[in-house]
Each structure stands twice: as structure tokens, then as C-alpha cells.
Structure 1
Amino acid sequence: MFYIKKQLITLVILLIVISISFISEHLGVRWYPMLDLHSSFASILYGLTLSVSSKGLIVTLIVLLLISAGSRPFCLNRLVILVGCLLVALAVAWGTKTVVKHVTQESRPYLEQLAAEGKIPSTDSFYQLKEADRGQLIKSLKLPDTPAWLQQHLTKEVNYSFPSGHSIAAITLVMFFMPIWFSMRRPGWLVGLLVLWGVGVCYSRLLLGLHWPGDVLASSIFGSVFGLAMANIFLLYQRSRSSNRPGRRIFSSRKGLFD
């Protein structure tokens, strides 16, 4: 039902790929500083990060919904239910992230690096400042190895590290749309691109110095639970509607979300 086998295989692959960062860290790999932050590749990673920022998330949601759409007449009821399930998943993810950050109070990798270089006295003293003052402090630093666009971004990344809000949002989206796209019989390569995007967001957070591997791994687990749960609730709703009309599938190969 609902392509459960494909869901599980995709979940396992995603978590294995992200777990590589966690395992490698314990083998001595330092994910930050590793990358030349002035490189074009760093800019691409920044773009992935922005795709789940406050403004970028809206664009990403629109793109994912448009991909889910079919070519037949618009169905408002189905859209409302789907968006409702999606917003619940994202809201639970955001709430979980917010609560856990305040409980764990883990400092970010780039702050640990700045403290080691003597750019800030210590991470403890940094977090004793008000959040606005932390941003001003980061803005005032001379960081020749950090491009201006990243330093500007760092002024907004001054809260705690665990878990990763960007990662939990990305994986929630991946695991929400993946089962739905399977049920819609969307091409496998399209689902693969979706998963690749989610993994890319997670690794962008590592390589830009914003999170530890444990942060993104935990966020991926949280996001997978929330996304899969709400996606399958939506599919159960669709199945219940289809059962009242014998002979209809939840989604046909030619239909989309709005059919």
C-alpha cells in the first residue's frame, strides 16, 4: 500500500548517505574548515541553503506543488488537504527544532573555529550576548577566509546548533512529497532529484560551518518521521475518498495533485 517498499528503500538510502558525514567525523574528518569558501562550489552550497531559508522556502514549496500538479482541472479540496498536512509537518518540525535547540544549547562549528583563532573570547561568552548583539559582533569581525555573502549570512546564524532547522525542513519536504510522487507514478529520476536536493542541503550546512554531522543526522531522522507520517495521512485520506468511487485509483498515471 502506498509504495511502502519504495518509501523504506528511499529512506534507508537517504539516512545512509547522511550518516557517512557522522561516521567520518568520528574517524577524524573535519567538515569545517574543509572547503575553499571563495570557490564557486561554496556559492552553489549557499544556494542550497537559501532554498529552505525564510524566503527561499516559499519558492521551494511553490515549485514542489507545481511539479505535483497535473494537467487536468484544478481540485481545491485536494489541494487544501495536502497543504494542510504539509503545514502540520513543517510546523511540528519547526517546533521540535526550536525546543531542542534551547535544551541542548550546542555551539556552531564556525563559532568554535572563531574562538580557536581568538576572533571571539569564547563560545560561552558569545552566547551570553543578546541575539542582536551576537549578529553585530560577527558583522564587525575581519574574516579574510570568509566571503562577504557568507559573513552576512552568519550574522543571522547566531543561535544554537542542534538540530539543524534548514536540514529538518528540507528532509521533511523530501519525505512528504516522495510517497505522494510515488503514488502519482512520477518518474523515479524526479524522486531521485528531490532526495539529492535534500541531501545537498544537509551537506551545505556542514561545509559552510553552520552545523555538525550529528545535527543534520538527527534533523534528517526527525524530518523523515514528520514528513512520512503526514504524507501517508494524506494518502489515507485520498484512499478513503477513492473507496467511495469503485474502480478509481488514488492517483492515476495521468493525474496530478490537482486533478
Structure 2
Amino acid sequence: MIFGWTILAIIPAILLLLNTSLFPLIALDSTLANALFWLTSTGTAPYGVATVLLVLFLSYQRLSKPQFISLFLAISLGMCTTLTLNSYLKPHFNEPRPNAVWLESQYLLNTDNFYSLPKAQRKVEMSSALDRLEHAHSDLTLSPLVKQHWKHEVGFSFPSGHTLFALTLTMITSYYLLLAGNIFIPGMLFIWSIGMGFSRMLLGMHWSQDVLASTALGGVIGLVSIFVVNQAFPYLNNFYSALMKNRKKLENTR
């Protein structure tokens, strides 16, 4: 798990050290761009909820009942932590997204004014900028899916909430499945996490430092969630057993 975590962090770390941006690298009206959109959507509400439910379903089939309960509690704790941390850090750092900076370089957006607006008004401004982009002499063309994604994602850049979500879910789930002797699903989850980080950078949603920091934070949140639940689970298990015994006593008295 730690080895996989390190591999996930190496990619954005190298990009950061080389001061290299992956946006705009690919054609954003291509099949690849649309595929990356659907990949990144697995970490976007409401699809992110479906992703968690799918992971829980696959884990339920491969773990014992106590292991699954522990996994469920750890994922719940991890997801709550990532949502809270992400909502706090974004307005604290006030970092503009790469796509907004690029639009500013094309004189289609002013990032200072843009990020001072309420979120609803930012969506209107982004939509207006993208409409002007279609009539401008630019080499960058957006597919309808990517264009819609840009209109929706108008928050600050740091950290990458999608990467944070993917890393936390991957670390927690992989821990329990590896203990149960399952390697395939953790392997697929780590590949998914790598793809999530790449999709965020290639689609112009995040800088390499956003993905690197989120990779580190997601790993820490995952490990802490596992530790907390493993420490508390014996007490929760005893409490659950006591409730079941009391329930049986009540049924017998009836």
C-alpha cells in the first residue's frame, strides 16, 4: 500500500519539479478528452456516490462481516474528512484553476474579478467566456462534455477534491482487501487513482501541486481513518454484541 502510494505521488512530483503543465497538452475535443471526462466524473457528485457504493458492493463479497463493517466505518470517516478539508482549503488558498488562467491569457476572463463573484455568477461568466472562445481564433476547441465540465467546475483549484476522494477511497479499501488476500481490486483502484490525477491535470482543472498535495493528504486521511476505526472497532463490536444479546433476551421473555 505504501509502495503504491509512493508511485501515485511520484508522477505529480516530477511534473512539479520540472515545472511542467499537462494543460493544454491534448485536444479537448477528442475521444481521449471525453474519456477523461467520464473518468473524472466517477469522483463527481452524484457519480462519486455510485463509485463508493460499487466499491462497497465488491468488498462485501470478499470480506468477512467484521472486516466489512470496519471498512464501511473507515470509508465513512474518510469521506467526511475529505469533504470537510476540501471545502475549507479551497477558499483559504484562493488558487485559480489552469483553465481560468489560460482563458485570461486569451483575454476572455479576468481571474481576479472572476473569483470574487458568487459561484452562480462565476458559472455565467465562464459560460460567456466559452461562448466568446468559440468565435475566437484559437487552437483550443472543447467538446460539449468538456465545455459543460468547465462551466460546472468554477471553484478554486487547490486542493484537487477528485484526487483526494480517489486516494482516500483507494487507500482504505486496498488495506482491507489486501488483508483478505485480494490483489486485483486494489490494483484496479490504484490505476483508477492515477487516471484521476491525470484527468484533472489534462482537462485544465488542476495544477501538478494540487494533485501532489491531494495525493499526500488522501493517503494520510486513509491511514488515519483505518487506525481510528481499528482502535474503536473492538468497542463497537462489543457494543453491537451486547445489543444483540439484550434483543434476544427481550424476545425470549415475550
TM range (shorter): 0.7 to 0.9
TM-score (norm 1): 0.81
Question: Does the 8 Å contact 2:104/2:111 carry over to 1?
Answer: yes
More helix by share: 2
Residue number among 185, 193, 196 corresponding to 2:191 in the alignment: 196
- Report the equivalent of 1:108: 97
Question: Does the 8 Å contact 2:39/2:195 carry over to 1?
Answer: yes
- Report the equivalent of 1:118: 107
TM-superposed CA distance for 1:125, in Å, is: 1.0
User: CA separation in 2, counterparts of 1:130 and 1:58?
Assistant: 26
Q: 1:130 to 1:179 in 2, by over 3 A?
A: same
Question: Does the 8 Å contact 2:34/2:145 carry over to 1?
Answer: no
1:220 aligns with 2:215: yes
| Paired amino acid for 1:115 | E
- Report the equivalent of 1:89: 78
Q: Which has the larger radius of gyration?
A: 2
User: CA separation in 2, counterparts of 1:71 and 1:198?
Assistant: 21
- Report the equivalent of 2:11: 17
TM-superposed CA distance for 1:78, in Å, is: 5.5
| Paired amino acid for 1:52 | G
Residue number among 47, 60, 63 corresponding to 1:69 in the alignment: 60
Cα root mean square deviation, aligned: 2.3
* Deviation digits for residues 127-185 of structure 1 (CA, Å, limit 9, x no counterpart): 12221011012123323411121121112211111001111111111111111111011
Runs of 4+ in structure 1 deviating by more than 6 angstroms, as ranges, are: 238-242
1:230 aligns with 2:228: no
Q: 1:71 to 1:173 in 2, by over 3 A?
A: closer
Identity of aligned residues (%): 28
Residue number among 201, 204, 208 corresponding to 1:206 in the alignment: 201
| Paired amino acid for 2:170 | V
TM-score (norm 2): 0.82
Q: 1:71 to 1:170 in 2, by over 3 A?
A: closer
Q: 1:223 to 1:15 in 2, by over 3 A?
A: same
User: CA separation in 2, counterparts of 1:48 and 1:135?
Assistant: 22
| Paired amino acid for 1:111 | A
* Deviation digits for residues 103-129 of structure 1 (CA, Å, limit 9, x no counterpart): 110000000000100111x20011122
- Report the equivalent of 2:47: 56
- Report the equivalent of 1:167: 163
Alignment coverage as a number of residue pairs: 229
User: CA separation in 2, counterparts of 1:238 and 1:18?
Assistant: 35
Q: 1:240 to 1:10 in 2, by over 3 A?
A: farther
| Paired amino acid for 1:126 | F
TM-superposed CA distance for 1:50, in Å, is: 0.2
* Deviation digits for residues 32-63 of structure 1 (CA, Å, limit 9, x no counterpart): 11110111111111111100101111111122
Residue number among 121, 142, 160 corresponding to 1:133 in the alignment: 121
User: CA separation in 1, counterparts of 2:234 and 2:188?
Assistant: 27
| Paired amino acid for 1:127 | Y
